[in-house]
Structure 1
Amino acid sequence: AFHIVMPEEDGDGPARAMAKALEDAHIGPQDIDYINAHGTSTQLNDKSETAAIKRVMGERAKQIPISSTKSMIGHLLGAAGAVEAIASILSINHGMVHPTINLEHPDPDCDLDYVPNEPRRHDIRVAMSNSFGFGGQNACIVLKRFDNN
């Protein structure tokens, strides 16, 4: 862990979790249609997560809609990862990216598509959901639409 509560500015730990999730799912950045960010709306965390997404997704990062469930429901601590995975599954099932509400003046370093204030229709076949915790506890899950074929 870099620090018990402060994330690394370069997003190294979160980036490693995201890259490993892609590897475990046998897919690449080009396959991700939506990212449910850890998205705590804190300056250091949001910059770190943005850096991690850019590092792992490369140029694709600017094309992927990203939103924060926490903007609507708050931080559920130990339940956050599970609830946000469910929100990601619902996004896949309904073809809808939920918004990051109250996003009015984003930090210039947080320059990705954070789906501000209004939901957006979007075909989502594969979603990624990030959960980052104190002491460098970083987790990422990749979820895919069920296909009978």
Structure 2
Amino acid sequence: MRLASIALTFAFSVALAVSASAQDKPTPVENDKKPLASIKKLMDDLDRLLKNSSTVKPASSGNIEDRMMNEIQACWALPAYKQGDILPETKVTVNVGKDGSLLSDPIVLKSGTDPLGKQLAESAVRAIKRCAPFKTVKDNPDSYEKLRTIVFNFKPSAL
């Protein structure tokens, strides 16, 4: 009888342990769902980045000035702007050496007078400085006289 009592107690203890372990299982945590506002912000940021990016043509296409402008556009980041803002054209003159380096700071010839126009002009100058020395000039020594002083038109509307 004592053996039966021990066996019954053991079986009951095992049953309680199994039952308790089934209840101790962690409940699955639901994945945090991003709020709609956060997703909208990410989509707006992506849209802005796509608008600010430029398509760079292969170096073999177009004339030599276009190839040089493609180099600069790859370095150009437009300042932030609101949809509907008018993005003025900016003209910048550049003097380069035979090695493609800048001989002097770029000079803004034309830009907008409002804060956005000034930011666009500053971003164009930064792009020119960031991209120098220019591979196109260095790789085309026969065209140096044509490229020594060149005026670039930065047209955000064309991007």
Check whether TM > 0.5.
Answer: no
Quick check: which one's helix share is greater?
2
Q: Which has the larger radius of gyration?
A: 2
- The two structures have a TM-score, normalised by structure 1, of 0.27
Quick check: which one's strand share is greater?
1
The answer to which structure, 1 or 2, has the higher relative contact order (CA under 8 A, 6+ apart) is 1
